[in-house]
Amino acid sequence: MGNLWQFFGLPDPEGGSQPPQQQRPAAEQQPTLEQREQIAKPLVEETQEVAPLLAPPTSWTGPVTPDGEPFHDLSSFARTTKIRPKRALRYVKPDSKYRIYTNQISERVRQGDTVIVDLRPLVHMDSHQQACRRELRTMCEQVGVAIFALDSEDKLLMIPGSDVVVERNKHELGITRLLRVE
């Protein structure tokens, strides 16, 4: 049994200056009678039937392995036609002068983008928060979409884009459902 120093291949500082004796490799040792009996037994290999390989899909245009399977070369860099998304999720908060640009928001909402408006930076300006809410409500009425509060203080508002469906009956946002005791 070796010690920690031998494990790392270092000489033992507490032990003698003689290195530990190495055992002869297993190939040089003479096999014992028990080992000869174990070697004499023939090994039985189990073979498993290999299922026939399926041909690659007809639309496959990439390389194929020698077995006939499609090969996905992750190092090849081939661009496909870039698909530009039609809709996006936008996050808006007041700028450094605490303004919210409803004209640009209304354009994005008409294009189908969903906008999240964050009024939390206006934490000490209640009257300014109310003015921003009124302006956003007026903008939503002009565009023809509803505005939803995502938190209990009405500081995080969601304006869905045109043609975005919001289910109002069963869906509850936030943690209010977790806090409700029934």
Convert the pLDDT of each residue in 144-170 to its tens digit.
Answer: 999 998 888 889 999 999 888 887 776
Q: How many residues does the chain have?
A: 182
40-64, pLDDT tens digit by residue? 556 677 777 766 666 777 888 888 8
Q: Across all residues in the chain, what is the average pLDDT?
A: 78
Structural domains of the chain, ranges and CATH numbers in brackets: 89-162 (3.30.110.150)
- How far apart, in Å, are the Cα atoms of 80 and each of 57, 59, 77, 83, 84? 19, 15, 10, 9, 12
Question: Could you give the CA distance from residue 143 to residue 107 in angstroms, rounded to a whole number?
Answer: 9
Give the three-class secondary structure for 76.
Answer: coil
58-87: b (≥16 Cβ within 10 Å) or e = eeeeeeeeeeeeeeeeeeeeeeeeeeeeee
> pLDDT band at 109, cuts 50/70/90?
very high
> pLDDT band at 33, cuts 50/70/90?
low
108 pLDDT higher than 90? yes
16 pLDDT higher than 70? no
Question: Could you give the CA distance from residue 125 to residue 128 in angstroms, rounded to a whole number?
Answer: 5
- Percentage of residues of the chain with pLDDT beyond 90: 29
- What is the phi/psi pair of residue 129, to 5°? -60, -45
Sheet holding 89-92, edge to edge: 89-92, 114-118, 156-159, 148-149
Host H or E run for residue 38: helix 33-40
Please list the helix, strand and coil fractions of the chain in percent, rounded to the nearest 5, in that order: 25, 10, 65
Contact 136, 147 (CB under 8 A): yes
Question: Could you give the CA distance from residue 134 to residue 173 in angstroms, rounded to a whole number?
Answer: 22
Q: Which of 19-28, 84-93, 126-135, 172-181 has the lowest mean pLDDT?
A: 172-181
pLDDT of residue 141: 93
84-99, pLDDT tens digit by residue? 888 899 999 999 888 8
Question: Could you give the CA distance from residue 170 to residue 167 in angstroms, rounded to a whole number?
Answer: 7
* 112 vs 81: which has the higher pLDDT: 112
